[in-house]
Amino acid sequence: MQDQAHLIWEKALGIIRDQLNTPTFKTWFENTSPVALYEGTLIVSTPNSFAKEWLESRYAVLLKQALSQAAGKEVGVKFTV
């Protein structure tokens, strides 16, 4: 399951990278990593609580769309520190 989470996350990051400018992508996504794919939700580790809250409030919709596109089915996202 970890390998699947990593594969989906890498594909989703590629999609997101194409939609954001480089500094924004590096600031908010470069230091994230997939933890697990559990019951249709990808759990993503963030470097700190500020990044977690920022991603939840600003990028949750974009992430869900990119994850679903990468996985070929609907995938949710949950952030953790």
**DSSP state letters, the chain:** -HHHHHHHHHHHHHHHHHHS-HHHHHHHHTT-EEEEEETTEEEEE-SSHHHHHHHHHHSHHHHHHHHHHHHTS--EEEEE-
Domain count within the chain = 1
pLDDT of the residue at 9: 97
Q: Which CATH number characterizes residue 27's domain?
A: 3.30.300.180
Does the pLDDT value for residue 2 go beyond 90?
no
Domain of residue 41 covers: 2-80
pTM: 0.90
pLDDT for residue 42? 97
Rounded mean pLDDT of 56-77?
Answer: 96
- Report pLDDT for 8: 97
